[in-house]
């Protein structure tokens, strides 16, 4: 069953406010710009900086899906203002395709100043470069 079909079914079963509550306030999308494909099966982790100890607290880990996304990164209840870090294990990704990479991992550190907003953090990736921006 396609994900679009599942989303349509979900919208008929759950009220819209329940669907919105289930959506992660932080999303990511990895694109392999070298090959023009989504960055599938990339290990990633999300962390929040504890301001009192200056240590990173692990929130979630997983792999990007076939579309280069990781749904459910953080729940709205866990989401607080502060400094966050998304870490992508890029060397493992490139090695899985028989390639090498200049960057063994990529970390994107960003500040959340309004926990009621959505933060979309795309990663555009090649073996020797990467870029990111705050998407919508």
- As a whole number of angstroms, the distance between CA 24 and CA 43 comes to 18
Q: What is residue 136's predicted lDDT score, i.e. its pLDDT?
A: 85
Residue 98 token pair: 């028989």
What pLDDT, on the 0 to 100 scale, is given for residue 34?
95
Q: Report the percentage of the chain scoring pLDDT > 90.
A: 82
Q: Please, are residues 41 and 92 in contact by the beta-carbon 8 Å criterion? A: no
Write down the pLDDT at residue 12: 46
Tens of pLDDT along 9-25?
A: 555 454 444 444 458 99
Domains parsed from the chain with CATH numbers: 3-132 (2.60.40.180)
Q: Which long-range contacts (CB under 8 A, 24 or more apart) does 76-81 make?
A: 76/21, 76/23, 76/25, 79/25, 79/26, 79/112, 79/115, 80/48, 80/112, 80/115, 81/112, 81/113, 81/114, 81/115
Q: Read off the pTM.
A: 0.83
What digits encode the pLDDT tens for the residues 117-132? 999 999 999 999 999 9
What is the C-alpha separation between 92 and 105, in angstroms, rounded? 8
Which pLDDT value is given to residue 2? Answer: 57
pLDDT tens track for 49-79: 999 999 999 999 999 999 999 999 999 999 9
Q: What pLDDT does residue 61 have?
A: 98
């Amino acid at each position: 069953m396609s994900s679009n079909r599942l989303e349509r079914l979900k919208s008929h079963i759950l009220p819209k406010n329940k669907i919105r509550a289930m959506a992660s306030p932080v999303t990511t999308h990895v694109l392999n710009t070298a090959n023009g494909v989504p960055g599938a099966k990339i290990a990633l982790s999300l962390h929040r900086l504890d301001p009192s100890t200056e240590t990173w607290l692990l929130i979630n880990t997983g792999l990007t899906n076939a579309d280069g996304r990781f749904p459910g990164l953080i729940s709205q209840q866990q989401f607080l203002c502060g400094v966050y870090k998304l870490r992508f294990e890029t060397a493992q990704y490139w090695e899985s395709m028989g390639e090498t990479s200049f960057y063994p991992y990529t970390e994107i550190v960003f500040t959340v100043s309004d926990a009621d907003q959505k933060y979309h953090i795309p990663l555009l990736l090649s073996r020797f470069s990467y870029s990111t921006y705050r998407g919508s």
